[in-house]
Amino acid sequence: MSEKHTLKWAEAIHKIVDAINHSKCRAIGGLRPIDISFNNARKIREKIYGRIGSNINRKKTRFQKNDFVRMSRNKNVFAKGYLPNYSDEILQVDLVKNRANPNRYRVKDEKGEHFEGYFYPEELTKVRKDENTSYRIEKIISKRKKKDGKKEYLVKFFDYPNPEWIDESQFV
């Protein structure tokens, strides 16, 4: 167009398209776009993208069924503080959706109640849970003395919905 000193695209567009179609392209394996037909289209597609159905990049699952995890808390983007970024409630992985990309997990609490929806691996972190696991107490609601002389306290734990009676010996 600049050779002819004209601004009319309609006259030059056919030459531009023809030049593009007859030049080799690295994206399609060094072939020219004009060389692709319905007969070799499948072969070229597999060359570029891999076999149909085999191009799913499955990652190894981060958590297995029955692993114990904590869920991340929602904070503002730049919120800072000394409180942890994960909840105090320990959950258990109930279902692993490893066919999905990315992997997703369904979790349940200690009572077996499922949380609504599925969670991405970035929203969970793996924890160990045993008899030595300690929990933060939000407040002591009440106390009572049993017939054998032991004291029990009704306590509300952080991030747990229901208070529980625990023995005095369980306090750390």
What beta strand segments (E) does 47-157 contain? Answer: 68-71, 91-97, 104-108, 124-126, 137-145, 151-157
For CA atoms 32, 37, 41, 43, the dihedral sign is negative
CA angle, corner 128, sides to 124 and 130, nearest 5? 140
Both tokens of residue 33?
């776009």
Element counts in the chain: helices (H) and strands (E): 2, 7
How does pLDDT run across 117-166, given as a tens digit for each residue?
999 999 999 988 877 777 778 888 998 888 888 888 999 888 777 888 88
Which CATH architecture is the domain 137-170 placed in?
Beta Barrel (2.40)
Residue 55 reports pLDDT greater than 60: no
List the chain domain ranges: 9-49, 68-126, 137-170
**Cβ neighbours around 164 below 10 Å, total:** 13
**Residues in Cβ contact with 67 at an 8 Å cutoff, skipping those fewer than 6 apart:** 92, 93, 126
For the entire predicted model, the pTM comes to: 0.55
